[in-house]
Chains A and B, each alone.
Chain A
């Protein structure tokens, strides 16, 4: 861990410093967020201007069709939008950027447990992104079987031409390898490298979130990787693991097997992405309400309970596949149970703000909005957890609205909260608060408009992944509302440019931040920018919990850093 004589390459590119790797993930994730976001814009364009050339980029990207979307291009777009947003935008932004940057600092570690593995993990991730991007340049286009890639559609039987599916599988397997390497690192780091005094119940909830999320990653990503390798064999070697029925030439294959494997990973994946969000929300609410996190231990227990339940509920994605009644009943019961721990930490979030002194800085605005959007996202999950209502709402725009509330809205609002919050620690400068507030309000209004009305049209019967919804008479009356959704989606996309402008301008021109601009109590705020490789000079001893705000016996300031003693009673 010597800090001398680092060349440009070892300092910025092949760095083993968790802070640099975190920043690499941040830029990587933002790039893919932009990419996936543009795809969303084109998808919304298609929903209202069917058969009209996509403006600006259409002719450039799809010269063969004259810039007009065709059904196969549309299927490629929805597939890539989902895949990219989940695995190459959210994952690097949360676990990659904040996990790497924040977790070692918050537990008082000098780096991750395995710094070289950490670097390797990033570069495998980078490679996987390259493979996925590369598949866009195939003559036949990228994968078009949906982000879930259900066989037999995703096998040669499905009739989708080209190598898009194969490259999709390869990129996902590589991504899985990167995630597993990262997860092992996080789990070990949190167990082994906590500073003296940093007991498990003194860890910031952000660390809890990333730690539990990494445990799920380490357990469930290998499962999907295995499933995808079987799918790869079906694609390139002509095996028939997931092919059955009239098109099968040998016995024994089963597409349902893939669905089980996919969702056995797929449901925990939701929590892999959302657990860090819960952690960040809990911590930031405390910081900006100037109060200790309400019911800290209950929140931790709730998060652990959800983590444990997450591997037992995957069947709720398969209620309409002809599942056995007994299984349907059990999966419904287990899924509904999740409402108990979630309602408990919701209560604690409200409790944290209760009688606080709320500071509406930009990170706090984003954090409070997560209470709102995740509330809606979580509650709409009840309809889909219930077998009978799922019969009607399965595979509908309702489902699309629901998971965009939980995964898109909550997770991206948390990513933004995290970026605005940790930007000063990462780059030594503050982002512009006025631009931040405009970014927040426009994003908040637009995303609610978009996702709420997706729920509304789903309620009214519109099913999803439709190239041209107006083909159906029962959807025709919904087209005006679909059009409005698209308009607000465009506004939502446009205002993100303001964020990117603010981000890059602040990198160079932002106001210089002092050591602790938010008056936060966790360990990363005891360090001056730039934090050297190795983080802490001398030994760090942790003496108090992560959210000691407004302690009545502590005069002078309203926060006590984790390295300071609590006042004697």
Chain B
């Protein structure tokens, strides 16, 4: 009787457990759509770890369940005295260590570091690269484009309307970012990118969008009372549309820009848009 009760309890628990996601209409949630040239690299390393941990956790779980039935205390059953310190155990331990090191640690390290070195930390150069400066502030996003001369902190810089970032499709975009006040983080789920903006530091990242559309920009580092509402929009459009948009912004915003430009490096301290494009990433 007690045994049936147990089985009923366990199935009921399992049902409740699975019902939740079923009720929510989802079980395994896919990633947000990847619209970037290199997002697949991040998804790939995640998928590899998925496989590794499913195997590892599956083994632990299988052992737990098997042991619960096979080795439960019952009349006539006695534990086998085994300290697990014979040479064969030590050998097994060393083998496990090596297995973990070579099949998990090294593979992940190589995969991830390869992507970093060749892609994410290898900034594209050349004429078709678009440079953007981002200055997050409590609680909005400012975007600045270099204008015709391709140089920042000059007369023709173009500042986009608040929270609006436009980039041309299939074009490498290199971003430099420094916040106005506190730590923020630029996060676009569809690009698989998160990058902190830390006062006093210019952080750099790059991406290349491959699909037209409007995507959400979020701030993913707690920055105060309006953190949640720090929502921006990334518009990926054709090169022509992008040029038209940029040209339509006029010089009004950039004349306000001049005021800031004058105090840009007062005392060597960054003020507002105070940083010149950092040469290291060209």
A residues near B, CB below 8 A?
71-72, 75, 144-146, 150-153, 157-160, 243-249, 251, 253-256, 289-298, 320-322, 325, 328-329, 332-333, 336-337, 339-340, 343-344, 346-348, 350-360, 368, 371-372, 375-376, 379-380, 382-383, 385-389, 391-396, 441, 445, 448-449, 453, 456-457, 459-461, 463-469, 471-474, 477-478, 480-481, 483-484, 487-488, 549-552, 558
Q: Flag B63-88 by CB within 8 Å of A: 1 or 0 each.
A: 11001100111000111111111000
Q: Quote the shortest CB–CB distance from B11 to chain A (angstroms).
A: 13
Chain B contact residue count (CB 8 A cutoff): 105
Q: How far is the CA of A368 from the CA of B193 in the complex (A)?
A: 38
* Beta-carbon contact of B90 and A246 below 8 Å: no
Q: Flag B195-209 by CB within 8 Å of A: 1 or 0 each.
A: 110111111100000
A324: nearest residue on chain B (CB-CB)? B121
B274: nearest residue on chain A (CB-CB)? A246
* Beta-carbon contact of B52 and A386 below 8 Å: no
Complex interface: chain B residues within 8 A of A360 (CB) = 68, 72-73
* Beta-carbon contact of B93 and A298 below 8 Å: yes
B248 close to A (CB within 8 Å)? no
List, sorted by A's number, 15 A–B pairs whose CB atoms are closer than 8 Å.
Answer: A75-B224, A150-B182, A152-B182, A320-B194, A329-B116, A336-B109, A355-B82, A356-B80, A360-B72, A389-B49, A449-B17, A456-B26, A456-B28, A465-B222, A550-B81
* Beta-carbon contact of A246 and B181 below 8 Å: yes
Complex interface: chain B residues within 8 A of A375 (CB) = 56-57, 60-61
Q: How far is the CA of A244 from the CA of B68 in the complex (A)?
A: 57
Contacts A295-B89, A392-B194 known; A153 to B182 CB distance under 8 Å?
yes
Q: How far is the CA of A209 from the CA of B266 in the complex (A)?
A: 54
B259 close to A (CB within 8 Å)? no
Q: Quote the shortest CB–CB distance from A443 to chain B (angstroms).
A: 12
Q: Quote the shortest CB–CB distance from A35 to chain B (angstroms).
A: 22
* Beta-carbon contact of A340 and B97 below 8 Å: yes
* Beta-carbon contact of B23 and A387 below 8 Å: no
Q: How far is the CA of A469 from the CA of B228 in the complex (A)?
A: 7
Q: How far is the CA of A449 from the CA of B21 in the complex (A)?
A: 9
Complex interface: chain A residues within 8 A of B85 (CB) = 295-298
B12-36 residues at the A interface, CB under 8 angstroms: 13, 16-17, 20-21, 23-26, 28-32
Q: Quote the shortest CB–CB distance from B255 to chain A (angstroms).
A: 20
Contacts A245-B270, A449-B20, A472-B218 known; A255 to B198 CB distance under 8 Å?
yes
Complex interface: chain B residues within 8 A of A253 (CB) = 200
Q: Quote the shortest CB–CB distance from B69 to chain A (angstroms).
A: 10
Among A339, A352, A468, A483, point to the contact of B104 (Cβ < 8 A).
Answer: A339
B166 close to A (CB within 8 Å)? no
* Beta-carbon contact of B116 and A357 below 8 Å: no
Complex interface: chain A residues within 8 A of B198 (CB) = 255-256, 321-322
Q: How far is the CA of A359 from the CA of B72 in the complex (A)?
A: 6
Complex interface: chain B residues within 8 A of A372 (CB) = 60-61, 64
Q: How far is the CA of A246 from the CA of B141 in the complex (A)?
A: 16
Q: How far is the CA of A353 from the CA of B17 in the complex (A)?
A: 27
Q: How far is the CA of A101 from the CA of B77 in the complex (A)?
A: 34
* Beta-carbon contact of B81 and A552 below 8 Å: yes
B84: nearest residue on chain A (CB-CB)? A294
Q: Quote the shortest CB–CB distance from A68 to chain B (angstroms).
A: 15
* Beta-carbon contact of B228 and A471 below 8 Å: yes
Q: How far is the CA of A183 from the CA of B45 in the complex (A)?
A: 40
Contacts A245-B180, A291-B81, A395-B185 known; A355 to B57 CB distance under 8 Å?
no
Among A248, A368, A391, A448, point to the contact of B192 (Cβ < 8 A).
Answer: A391
* Beta-carbon contact of B73 and A359 below 8 Å: yes
Contacts A375-B60, A383-B49 known; A355 to B113 CB distance under 8 Å?
no
* Beta-carbon contact of A329 and B113 below 8 Å: yes
* Beta-carbon contact of A321 and B120 below 8 Å: no
Complex interface: chain B residues within 8 A of A484 (CB) = 20-21, 23-24
Supply 18 further A-B pairs (C-beta < 8 A) apart from A354-B63, A392-B193.
A150-B183, A249-B269, A292-B81, A295-B83, A297-B85, A298-B89, A356-B71, A357-B78, A371-B64, A382-B49, A388-B111, A388-B112, A389-B112, A391-B194, A445-B13, A460-B31, A467-B228, A558-B79
Contacts A355-B80, A359-B73 known; A388 to B42 CB distance under 8 Å?
yes
Q: How far is the CA of A151 from the CA of B178 in the complex (A)?
A: 15
* Beta-carbon contact of B45 and A388 below 8 Å: yes
B271 close to A (CB within 8 Å)? yes
* Beta-carbon contact of B45 and A386 below 8 Å: yes
Among B72, B200, B204, point to the contact of A244 (Cβ < 8 A).
Answer: B200
B27: nearest residue on chain A (CB-CB)? A456
B190: nearest residue on chain A (CB-CB)? A474
Contacts A152-B182, A295-B85, A356-B79 known; A343 to B24 CB distance under 8 Å?
no
Among A145, A329, A339, A391, point to the contact of B120 (Cβ < 8 A).
Answer: A391
B143 close to A (CB within 8 Å)? no
B216-266 residues at the A interface, CB under 8 angstroms: 216, 218, 220-229, 231
* Beta-carbon contact of B274 and A472 below 8 Å: no
Q: How far is the CA of A469 from the CA of B229 in the complex (A)?
A: 10
Complex interface: chain A residues within 8 A of B89 (CB) = 294-295, 298, 351
B84-125 residues at the A interface, CB under 8 angstroms: 84-85, 89-90, 92-93, 96-97, 100-101, 104-105, 108-109, 111-113, 115-117, 120-121
Among A294, A355, A463, point to the contact of B71 (Cβ < 8 A).
Answer: A355
- Indicate the member of A245, A253, A332, A472 with the most B CB atoms within 10 Å: A245
Complex interface: chain A residues within 8 A of B202 (CB) = 322
Q: How far is the CA of A483 from the CA of B89 in the complex (A)?
A: 47
Q: Quote the shortest CB–CB distance from A70 to chain B (angstroms).
A: 8
Q: Quote the shortest CB–CB distance from B138 to chain A (angstroms).
A: 6
Q: Quote the shortest CB–CB distance from A379 to chain B (angstroms).
A: 4
Q: Quote the shortest CB–CB distance from B61 to chain A (angstroms).
A: 7
Complex interface: chain A residues within 8 A of B183 (CB) = 150, 152-153, 255
* Beta-carbon contact of A244 and B199 below 8 Å: yes
B46 close to A (CB within 8 Å)? yes
Q: How far is the CA of A389 from the CA of B192 in the complex (A)?
A: 9
Q: How far is the CA of A477 from the CA of B21 in the complex (A)?
A: 12
Q: How far is the CA of A57 from the CA of B180 in the complex (A)?
A: 38
* Beta-carbon contact of B53 and A340 below 8 Å: no
* Beta-carbon contact of A339 and B200 below 8 Å: no
Q: Quote the shortest CB–CB distance from A388 to chain B (angstroms).
A: 4
Q: How far is the CA of A332 from the CA of B83 in the complex (A)?
A: 35
Contacts A329-B113, A449-B17 known; A389 to B220 CB distance under 8 Å?
no
B272 close to A (CB within 8 Å)? yes
Complex interface: chain B residues within 8 A of A337 (CB) = 101, 105
Q: How far is the CA of A523 from the CA of B24 in the complex (A)?
A: 51
* Beta-carbon contact of A350 and B195 below 8 Å: no
